[in-house]
Structure 1
Amino acid sequence: MKISEPLSLEAATWLPEERERVSDLLAAGHLNEAETEQLGLTEVPVSDIPGPQLAVRAAERVLAAARFDPARIGLVAHAWLYHQGHDFWSPPHYVADRLGAHDALPIGVRQMSNGGVAALGVAVDRLLADPTVEAALVTTGDRFVPPGFNRWRADYGAVYGDAGTAALLRRHDPDGQEPEGQAPERSGPTLLLRSLTFATAAEYEAMYRGRDPFTEVPLQAGIPIDVRRPKKAYLEEHGGMGPFLKSAAEAVRATLLQSLAESGVEPGDPRIRCVALPRLGEHVLSITHALLDEILGVEILQLREGSGHLGAGDLLANLAHISASHGLAPGEFAVVIGGGGGFTWSCAVVEAA
């Protein structure tokens, strides 16, 4: 997705204060020593409020930092991975209403863990296609709690943390002029979204389906959700992980090179400061490390400690971290890799304004 005009992006993450710690679970017998070593982190955030409310809190944070009136938002794209608190309901409309974005079109986006990136793509398309849309807001919010979900044991290579994320996307004003009373107060530089690319291998949707039949009601296949069962069945039928790992490496390479080319940046450009990865386990990302070292040779950010995998929100959370904490100078770049079951992989290139 080549972005024909500069779009400014400001992102925020909202993490609940409560934590579940590996040491406590080990002491209580809920995890064993081998499992704790494989997890590779010490704690994750746990929320007592549902995903859409987490999204609202992250959005309030980004709107306050930008001093941006939510009434001026033309689109709210909300993404999620897991249950949003009601069975037959529209979470994006809730987010828009709670924020006061009453003129915005609320849209829900589902693309597993890549949902936040897909929602960002929807926002980019809307801004570039419709000059009457002044700003678009992207949010994610997920809460992974019993009895429906065991955040520690549901999946391979992922411990799921609760969080909301948000990104405000606007056409960039190079002169930095804001309407009166709207001067921003930011903890880091505004990021310019230079490119956003996707690659899909839809044949791997079966990895999350396995041998399970289609069901008629939620959780009919069993409670809590067991992501490992269908993955194991799929791998048994298809002879292991080899073909998938090959496809994943090809997709990451393709999206990365396309994003760099569309941003006008060569792979070895010294202005590229870092690349951030999804907040997944080390063994899941190991194939990506060699590829990124080969193409970029820059600092690799793995930010899962203290957060875990944030459902649909990893990429937006990584953008918020880069803006607030990574010290990009104007004209320097960062790369953020995403992906989600189905499978779709993604890559964003941002520049510090």
Structure 2
Amino acid sequence: MQWNDIHVNASAAWIGQREDVQKAVAEGRYDAAEYQEDGYIALPVAGPDDSPADMAVSAGQVAVERAGVPGGDFTIVLCATTSFQGLDHWSPAPYIQHRTVGSGAQSVEVRQACNGGMAALELAAAYLSVGSLSAAALLTTTDKFALPQFDRFRSDKGMARGDGATALVLSRRPGVARLLSTASIGDPKHEGTGRGDAKWADASGEQGWPVDLRSRREQYTDRMGDIKTIMTDLAVRQHESVQLALADAKVDFADINWFVFPNVSQGVAKIRNQAFGIDEGRTTTRWGLETGHIGAGDQFGGLTYLLETHQVSVGDRVLLSGAGGGWNFTAAVVEITEVPDWPSTAA
């Protein structure tokens, strides 16, 4: 989809205290061979009293303050998550709304796995495009990957998790970036990669904790074929979403100054960057190796990092690409219209 008058007014992040991954290796929490292969430098870890919802509130409050948009102008609040939010049978979206923009807007929780933030971006753009000129949207993402439910180093492979939240304010008034396009593709053919042979349970944790995504993926590939073939299928879909977004934005790969992909290990990032034909220096890979995969928020966090560190200039185009198990893929192209003087929240 092509957008003509949707703008990013502000963004922000809340990142946990970064822990040197060598400490985890020394303590036996992170496999030494995988550490050498993955290339992670640090992972942010939230404290025991840092709830995911409060992490999102912190990021959201900063983004709203930076945007300067009155609370009454917000018509929708979208909160994307991938993990447990602190209470069963509870939605964090109204809690986040109450502590950021107040009443008046509707609040919606988005659960599209790691593509949740990007899905929220496209949903919000569509919502605002038919609303009043003063309408605004607050988008947040938040995830905390803590034991006993999730092991940030061992539950998955090639994608170590970090604790973090992000926020983005979208409206039809000029801001720091203009949204040029978004494109989404859904392909459930390989949804079983995240399910494996697991049986349905009546309560969370009945299958055993921590969550073991590695085994589920192996179970699926044992039935459906080589993992490389499956990952190639998924990469093709991600590439298609990127191509569609570029076409709608009327730009080419060469016109993109920065690429913000999901945060993955150094080895996986190298394969991906080669597949897209781009140099690592045009990506946020290095930031990702110091931040880890923060669930639904890698793209908003990466954009915030580029803005806060002044690595982008007015006129630069940034491509955001998301991929979420199931599988769903969303890509977006934004054009930088202002480089703000913001204190660092993502670095």
TM value normalised by structure 1: 0.89
- Which residue in 2 is equivalent to 1:344? 328
Aligned 8 A contact 2:7 2:176 in 1: no
Matches within 5 A, 1:153-164: 153-164=154-165
Shift of 1:31: 2.9
Match for 2:63: what amino acid? V
Counterpart-to-counterpart distance in 2, 1:145 and 1:200: 29
1:29 maps to 2:12: no
Matches within 5 A, 1:1-353: 1-16=1-16, 18-48=17-47, 49-131=50-132, 134-173=135-174, 190-269=176-255, 272-293=256-277, 299-302=282-285, 303-353=287-337
Aligned 8 A contact 1:198 1:344 in 2: yes
Counterpart-to-counterpart distance in 2, 1:112 and 1:277: 15
Match for 1:299: what amino acid? R
Aligned 8 A contact 1:74 1:133 in 2: no
Check 1:100–1:301 CA distance in 2 against 1; reply closer, same or farther (3 A cut). closer
- Which residue in 1 is equivalent to 2:345? none
Match for 1:205: what amino acid? E
Once structures 1 and 2 are overlaid, which stretch shifts more, 66-75 or 306-315? 66-75
Counterpart-to-counterpart distance in 2, 1:321 and 1:297: 16
Identical residues among aligned pairs (%):
28
Aligned 8 A contact 1:207 1:234 in 2: yes
Check 1:9–1:278 CA distance in 2 against 1; reply closer, same or farther (3 A cut). farther
Secondary structure at the aligned position of 1:113 is classed as helix
Check 1:114–1:97 CA distance in 2 against 1; reply closer, same or farther (3 A cut). same
Match for 2:282: what amino acid? E
Counterpart-to-counterpart distance in 2, 1:145 and 1:54: 14
Check 1:32–1:262 CA distance in 2 against 1; reply closer, same or farther (3 A cut). closer
Q: Deviations over 1:142-196 (max 9, x none)?
A: 11111111111110111111111000001034xxxxxxxxxxxxxxx70111111
Shift of 1:326: 4.3
Counterpart-to-counterpart distance in 2, 1:39 and 1:117: 25
Q: Deviations over 1:116-160 (max 9, x none)?
A: 111111111110122266100000111111111111111011111
Shift of 1:327: 3.4
Match for 1:171: what amino acid? R
Counterpart-to-counterpart distance in 1, 2:85 and 2:280: 39
- Which residue in 2 is equivalent to 1:182? none
Structure 2 gap ranges (5+):
338-347
Shift of 1:112: 0.5
Match for 1:149: what amino acid? F
Once structures 1 and 2 are overlaid, which stretch shifts more, 54-63 or 66-75? 66-75
Counterpart-to-counterpart distance in 2, 1:246 and 1:318: 25
Counterpart-to-counterpart distance in 2, 1:77 and 1:204: 27
Counterpart-to-counterpart distance in 2, 1:298 and 1:45: 23
Match for 1:324: what amino acid? E
Secondary structure at the aligned position of 1:5 is classed as coil
Shift of 1:3: 1.5
Match for 2:236: what amino acid? E
Secondary structure at the aligned position of 2:99 is classed as helix
Secondary structure at the aligned position of 1:304 is classed as helix
Counterpart-to-counterpart distance in 1, 2:44 and 2:28: 20
Q: Deviations over 1:29-72 (max 9, x none)?
A: 22342132133112211112111111110011111222233232
Aligned 8 A contact 2:83 2:145 in 1: yes
Q: Deviations over 1:302-328 (max 9, x none)?
A: 121221100111111111122222433
TM value normalised by structure 2: 0.90
Aligned 8 A contact 2:315 2:335 in 1: yes
Counterpart-to-counterpart distance in 2, 1:38 and 1:164: 27
Secondary structure at the aligned position of 2:140 is classed as strand
Aligned residue pair count: 334
Aligned 8 A contact 1:72 1:101 in 2: no
Counterpart-to-counterpart distance in 2, 1:279 and 1:291: 16
